[in-house]
Amino acid sequence: MTTLDVSALRTRFAGQVVAPGDDGYDAARALFYGGHDPRPAVVIRPCDPNEVADVIALARETGLDLSVRCGGHSPVGHSVVDGGIVLDLTHLRAIAVDVEERTVWAQAGLTAGDVTRAVAEHGLAIGFGDTGTVGIGGITTGGGVGFLSRKYGMTIDNVLAAEVVTADGQILQVDAGHHPDLFWAIRGGGGNFGVVTRFQYQLHEVPEVVGGMIMLPATPEIVHGFLREAAAAPEELSVIVNVMPAPPMPFIPADVQGSLVVLGLVCYAGPAEEGAKVLAPIRALAEPLADFVRPITYPEMFLEEEGEGEYHPTATARTLFADELDLPRIAQVLERLQNAPAPMRVAQFRPLGGAISRVPADATAYAHRARPFMVNVASFLDGPDTRAEREQWVLDTAAVVENGAPGAYVNFLAEDGPQRAREAYPGATWERLTRVKRQYDPGNLFRRNVNIPPAG
């Protein structure tokens, strides 16, 4: 392995250089998910796009593996590389809101929560995912499915332009009229084509939502009813339905804790009175065990917990799509959840449709526009010796619920990412992505991702 001269790097870069032995090294290499212990040769936090290009040049010069870090939420730790160079965008945090045009330029060191709070000061919003601490770079380039998706589309559907630093060090301004193939590829194709240093997003007027968490008992009829009502609701409503053991929270009765419940996260992007009417059939499914759904500001949808930095869950998971979630299939999933080997396990259901499905399948690198449901199955590990058992449970449970064509959402791919890349990017999407990869990264420098090799 090439030995880096850290002193020379500190002279070369105005941005922060963090190396083994430095204060802050362990924090700089830490990831959101547990089970990873990478020790990079160096972490460099550039101060501008020119320094981003210089970090990329350093990776080319040394031959060391390069990873790009925004929020550190990669399920398989792609954000940090053992023995290599971490290009950490943390210090790129500029943001500029144009209230009149309803747009924002945001640098990729910002989190979803940062941008959401900044634009909310003007009654505006851009939909990211469902977690405020994720970096906007990763979630945007992978697609972005979240609380506003059925009303305003995925995050990528609201990207107007971007600044991209390519493998050869060029700093490109891309949009529909400039480098259109690259602009197409970074909207869903992940970090395969360059380092996006800033995005321009279209914003929407969202002064208030009806949102929060509602907890119901978990029976097949209630889960099926929740999904049926949510899928048929006006597109202002987006929901995430988690079926899981009730966590030991103060507001949950002691006799309920540990038993299966439906933990629903709901967001109605419209007037409170209309939201209450739309949510009434869901509330009528059963007496809620807890109901925190109320008129709130959109940033309050991101439940950022205190002490989150100390929480590093280790799990095995599978992401998939389903065309139909009928009652017998839901009943089988609940039976498997009831008898699962892991104390903590979850089946998550996301009704899609609405604005997501109105975008042509070939308009971006996200090709699953017509799929009505996204499903994620996960099982938490108690230690490395439980991995094989939990992985098998996840695979068997996913097989029960999966129907329709194989598919995967790239931002949720876990250990199975390399094997399932073609499911994330089916058919013509894959072929076009490999051609764009050959043009902008023929040497596959950007390979710490769900990798798309260059054509040929």
For 61, residues 6+ apart whose C-beta sits below 8 A from its C-beta are none
Question: Do the beta carbons of residue 128 and residue 139 sit within 8 Å?
Answer: yes
Which range has the worst mean pLDDT, 31-35, 148-152, 244-248, 259-263? 31-35
Burial class (CB within 10 angstroms; exposed 0-12, middle 13-18, buried 19+) of 201? buried
* Positions of CATH 3.30.43.10 in the chain: 6-88
pTM across the whole model: 0.96
Q: In this structure, what token pair is assigned to residue 184?
A: 């197409």
Of the candidates 167, 173, 172, 145, which has an alpha carbon nearest to the alpha carbon of residue 157? 145
Q: How far apart are CA 113 and CA 256, in angstroms?
A: 32
The CATH architecture of the domain made up of 95-205 is 2-Layer Sandwich (3.30)
* Positions of CATH 3.30.465.10 in the chain: 95-205
Alpha helices, H only, 375-441: 387-401, 417-424, 427-440
For 386, residues 6+ apart whose C-beta sits below 8 A from its C-beta are 341, 342
Q: How far apart are CA 371 and CA 299, in angstroms?
A: 28
Q: How far apart are CA 187 and CA 190, in angstroms?
A: 7
Q: What is the pLDDT of residues 227-239, one digit of tens each?
A: 999 999 999 999 9
Q: What is the pLDDT of residues 359-369, one digit of tens each?
A: 999 999 999 99
Topology of 6-88 in CATH?
3.30.43
The CATH architecture of the domain made up of 209-418 is 3-Layer(aba) Sandwich (3.40)
Plot region of 392 (φ>0 → left; ψ -120 to 50 → alpha; else → beta): alpha
Residue 286 has pLDDT above 90, yes or no: yes
Note the pLDDT of residue 304.
66
Note the pLDDT of residue 1.
45
How many of the other CB atoms lie within 10 Å of CB of 165?
A: 24
Tell me which residue has tokens 């009229």.
177
* Positions of CATH 3.40.462.20 in the chain: 209-418
Note the pLDDT of residue 310.
65
Q: How far apart are CA 208 and CA 211, in angstroms?
A: 9
Of the candidates 412, 404, 322, 408, which has an alpha carbon nearest to the alpha carbon of residue 366? 408
Q: What is the pLDDT of residues 392-404, one digit of tens each?
A: 999 999 999 999 9
Quote the longest CA-to-CA distance of the chain: 66
Q: How far apart are CA 194 and CA 440, in angstroms?
A: 8
Q: How far apart are CA 133 and CA 364, in angstroms?
A: 25
Q: How far apart are CA 440 and CA 446, in angstroms?
A: 10
